[in-house]
Chain A
Amino acid sequence: RKEVEQDPGPFNVPEGATVAFNCTYSNSASQSFFWYRQDCRKEPKLLMSVYSSGNEDGRFTAQLNRASQYISLLIRDSKLSDSATYLCVVGTSGGSYIPTFGRGTSLIVHP
């Protein structure tokens, strides 16, 4: 089982749709979780950290389910500009912090 797994997609949705991505992780000791957005041939940009209680930033909501070892990202009212690849990142704390990146989920929002 891969350390961090994401459905590669693509998710093809119309403007205004709600779309959700999941990301599963294998290390139960993982303590930090993030979603990044990466546009084609650009660097990843931090979208949001994911907290145990869940968190929301505008149209984006992230949740963590420790029991089932997955995090999710919900995008409401999709915009054309949301088209990108969304990377899930999981890290463990301690002396050797090496975050593990998922391969990403591709989202295409069409008119």
Chain B
Amino acid sequence: EAGVTQSPTHLIKTRGQQATLRCSPISGHTSVYWYQQALGLGLQFLLWYDEGEERNRGNFPPRFSGRQFPNYSSELNVNALELEDSALYLCASTAYEQYFGPGTRLTVT
């Protein structure tokens, strides 16, 4: 059974640009969580999608947004990138426990 996949693996953007990150959950899982992990810090909850709807969001500005598609894959969009957005972005597929994808490392220069 395929695990959680994320793309791209690495993404380099300049300040002010927009980034789009993608996640495909484990087959049969309808819930996707997004997290940000800045260097040396813990995982910070960003967004939760379930059955195509946003269920909750963390303490992040509105320029962090996303959506979930009918096949339960998900997209995270970050607009007006700032230097401090540089981090590892992880998505997790959830039934009860959370299973993480390999992450997208976003670098903003």
Q: Does residue B88 face the partner (Cβ distance < 8 Å to A)? A: yes
- Which residues from chain B contact A103 at a C-beta distance below 8 Å? 41-42
A102 to B99, CA, bound (A): 17
- Which of B43, B90, B103, B105 neighbours the largest number of chain A CB atoms within 10 Å of its CB? B43
Q: Does residue A46 face the partner (Cβ distance < 8 Å to B)? A: yes
- Which residues from chain A contact B88 at a C-beta distance below 8 Å? 41
- Chain A, Cβ-Cβ closest to B41: A103
Known: A102-B42, A103-B41. A43 touches B101 (CB 8 A): yes
A96 to B57, CA, bound (A): 10
Q: Does residue B56 face the partner (Cβ distance < 8 Å to A)? A: yes
Interface SS of chain B: helix, strand, loop or mixed?
Answer: strand
Q: Does residue B49 face the partner (Cβ distance < 8 Å to A)? A: no
- Which residues from chain A contact B35 at a C-beta distance below 8 Å? 101
Known: A32-B96, A46-B97, A103-B42. A98 touches B102 (CB 8 A): no
Q: Which one of A42, A97, A101 lies within 8 Å of B42 (CB-CB)?
A: A101
Interface size on A, residues (CB 8 A): 20
Shortest CB–CB separation between residue B89 and chain A, in angstroms? 11
- Which residues from chain A contact B97 at a C-beta distance below 8 Å? 34, 46, 49
- Which of A96, A98, A100 neighbours the largest number of chain B CB atoms within 10 Å of its CB? A98
| A-B contacts, 26 listed (Cβ < 8 Å) | A32-B96, A34-B98, A42-B102, A42-B103, A43-B100, A44-B43, A44-B90, A44-B100, A45-B100, A46-B98, A46-B99, A49-B96, A49-B97, A87-B42, A87-B43, A89-B98, A97-B48, A98-B45, A98-B48, A98-B56, A98-B58, A99-B98, A100-B45, A102-B42, A103-B42, A104-B42
Task: List A residues at the B interface (Cβ < 8 Å).
Answer: 32, 34, 41-46, 49, 87, 89, 96-104
